[in-house]
Amino acid sequence: MKGAIYPNFRKKHALECCDRVCDIMNKIGIEVYMDECYKKEFAHKDYVKYGHFDDIAEDIDVAVAVGGDGTILKCAKYLVERDTLLIGINTGRLGFMSALEYDQLEQVEKLLLGGCKVSERMLLTCKIQNGNDSVYKLRALNDVTISAAYSDICDFDVYCDGLNIGSYRADGAVFSTPTGSTAYSLSAGGPIIEPDMKCIEMTLICPHSLFTRPMIFSPDRRLRFVNTAEDNPELFVSVDGGNPIKLPRGSSVEITGSKHVIKLADMASNDFFNSLNKKFMRPLK
């Protein structure tokens, strides 16, 4: 069995957490891999093997992301189209997608040996046509956000399977998976959706209307956001919080459910509803 660790050492406790996870994996006979940029931090562990993470991800059974939700999202991008279990260990602030907190490492061995529920999380496929015959195709575990810089208001149309469902004026729109419903979409006023469901949520960002509400679509619908107005500010597309891609006037973004999923580990003590109660219904420390 092969496993890889994907850390974010900018998070408090992440380094010591990774050190312990390495030892646990080695103890139970899992080959341990890390990106070669971490050789210095783990030079004292002669059993750790190194390489480029995109190459490592092609041949592992389990990936352990140590950090916050952003770390899990970045790690997940390497696991698309692979049958790899993703385990999140939270050393950040929220860590809503994590199976464990950094002070629960006594349960890591159980997780690595299959003692957990596996939640299959849907992905979005995002196709960006930027008007210059350039097409970007990306996948999102959380969301696809389209907005202007500096919160400028803009006008845009949204289509569902070729039919116009609305012409909107807002700061932008968030198209999210159920997993992403507790991220930016929630902050923009969208509903919380149980993560094992399959649907696409559209939430407008600060709509200039008294009556606009979030909408839920089945995952096989083909949604299209079109940048329409001549006097719109510059719009940008960001997938799972990644680097923004410019969307010129007349360009479009097509969003639909992906046939691929990410397998995310869940522990009973940190499942969706327990995490919802602990991390959203009470003030964060």
Quote the mean pLDDT of the chain.
Answer: 91
Q: What is the Rg, in whole angstroms, of the alpha carbon atoms belonging to the chain?
A: 20
Question: Can you tell me which residue has the tokens 């750790």?
Answer: 48
pLDDT at res. 102: 87
Instruction: Please list the ranges in the chain whose pLDDT falls under 70.
Output: 131-133, 268-285
Catalytic positions, please? Answer: 69
H helix or E strand, kind and range, residue 90: strand 85-90
Tell me the domains of the chain and their CATH numbers. Answer: 2-116+267-279 (3.40.50.10330), 123-259 (2.60.200.30)
- Helix, strand and coil content of the chain, in percent to the nearest 5, comes to 25, 40, 40
User: In degrees, to the nearest 5, what angle opens at C-alpha 177 toward C-alphas 175 and 182?
Assistant: 95
14-41 per-position pLDDT tens digit: 999 999 999 999 999 999 999 999 999 9
242-268 per-position pLDDT tens digit: 999 988 888 899 999 999 999 999 875
Closest CA relative to residue 184, chosen from 171, 196, 168: 171
Closest CA relative to residue 122, chosen from 261, 216, 263: 261
Q: pTM for the full model? A: 0.90
Question: Residue 148: left (phi > 0), alpha (psi -120 to 50), or beta?
Answer: beta
